[in-house]
Structure 1
Amino acid sequence: MKQLKSISALSLISNLIRLLLVLSMFLSFISENYFNMFLGTVTLFLTYLPFIIAKKNHIILPSIFQIIILLFIFAANYLGELNQFYDKFWWWDIMLHTLSGIIIGFIGFMLIYILNKEKKVNVNLSPGFMVLFAFCFAVSMGALWEIYEFSVDSLFGLHTQNGSLTDTMTDLIVDTLGALLASFYGYMYEKYRKNNFFRRFIILFLRDNPDLPKDETNM
């Protein structure tokens, strides 16, 4: 029953987000704001991209994961860029970078967790090393994103970094804090088997991907 409700919520949210994006693209075309129309098109594509990658790699993303990803893309591009939330709310960019650090930190932990449980690979990584990998993975992704922002600003005259070293460093700092938080919960789960949200996410992910290696004692 819960799974059916999650699927229904996912369908409703994804359809609403994509409808808003299509409407925004149409209005941008009417007002001859072609940059916003292009940005809306890119955002619409991004709502499909994680699921295309997952399908290509034969991975099923649980409904709650898909909802989180869709809402993050919606908040970053539709609200942040198209509706100027970055300018209206000083904390919007900070919030999104913190969340991205948490989300990517979790992805990094799942990658190393699956590798560590894979019987075909002769590794036995300590909880400390696993969370160090997750932390470094998330911080590296944050740094690559700042390089991307600097590049598009330099090439196309945009202002994604607000022309400010302070903005860049603030983004990197909150990316790091988000990664640190995800790493902490990952360590508590792997070291002490704490029953936290991290464990619930892992159970959902492995439940929907039964072919992935897992530690049955944790399920």
Structure 2
Amino acid sequence: MDRLRLLNRTLQVGLIAVLAFGVLARNVSVVVNALAGFGVTLVPAVLARDRDLLLDPRFTLVVSVAVFLHSIGMVGLYDRIWWWDHLTHTFSATIVAVIAYTVVWAVDVHREDIHLPPPFTGLFVLTFVVAMGVLWEVAEFLAREVAIFLGQEPVLVLYGLDDSMLDLLFNLLGAVTVTVFATTRLRRWGEQLAAWLDRQLEAN
């Protein structure tokens, strides 16, 4: 676990380096994405400190890897490596699927009046990831159009409708990977989350 935390810290340092590069290069896109990514990596520590919710270091590391890959992609890898966008979308979809599956399973365990069969949970996660992917693509398009209208450099990369369809396909790939290969561990995380919810209710 110490090794995982060290890797996570290394990725955070990498994000700071990307942020510094963006500032020196006066590249708003790089700065915004690196800053947002670094903020995301701080969320697990904030949850642990303020809410006593301890996330598995392996999940925290995957989140850091995803935002780091996206941030260095903004430096130029999205344009130079054709599959980089597919890689980052698969990683991001995996994270969304993990969160969705864990939360749904936690609700199933936490609430005695709710029973969600595993097949339904898997289908829900796939649907949820696809829906979030569609919303993200729409947000990318709107953010770009607003930036262009205001005469600013867009902070998100958009390559057209065909690329958006491929993004959704790789989002689905990430979700399928999670629901097929990681359900046992995610159910354990869901049970831990349900236990945390019970503690919060008792404390209140």
Q: TM-score category by the smaller chain?
A: 0.7 to 0.9
Match of 2:73 in 1: 80
Say which SS state the counterpart of residue 161 (structure 1) adopts.
coil
Match of 1:177 in 2: 173
Matches of 2:28 and 2:157, distance apart in 1: 18
Q: 1:99 to 1:112 in 2, by over 3 A?
A: same
Match of 1:30 in 2: 24
Question: Displacement of 1:175 after TM fit?
Answer: 1.1
Higher relative contact order (CA 8 A, sep 6+): 2
**Is residue 135 from structure 1 mapped to residue 131 from structure 2 by the alignment?**
no
Matches of 2:44 and 2:135, distance apart in 1: 18
Q: How does 1:1-219 map to 2 (within 5 A)?
A: 6=1, 8-52=2-46, 58-77=52-71, 79-82=72-75, 84-118=76-110, 120-157=111-148, 158=154, 160-162=157-159, 164-183=160-179, 185=180, 197-203=182-188, 206=191, 210-211=195-196
Q: Give me the CA root mean square deviation.
A: 2.7
Higher helix share: 2
Residue type matched to 1:75 in 2?
A: L
Moved more, 150-159 or 34-43: 34-43
Asked if the contact 2:130/2:171 (under 8 Å) is kept, the reply is yes
Question: Displacement of 1:85 after TM fit?
Answer: 1.4
Moved over 4 A (4+): 53-58, 204-210
Question: Displacement of 1:156 after TM fit?
Answer: 1.0
- Describe the superposition over 1:176-209 as per-residue Cα deviations: whole angstroms up to 9, x where unpaired: 23223323x2xxxxxxxxxx54323543665688
Unaligned runs of 5+ residues in structure 1 are 1-5, 186-195, 214-219
TM-score (norm 2): 0.79
Q: 1:39 to 1:100 in 2, by over 3 A?
A: closer
Matches of 1:42 and 1:103, distance apart in 2: 16
**Aligned positions, number:** 192
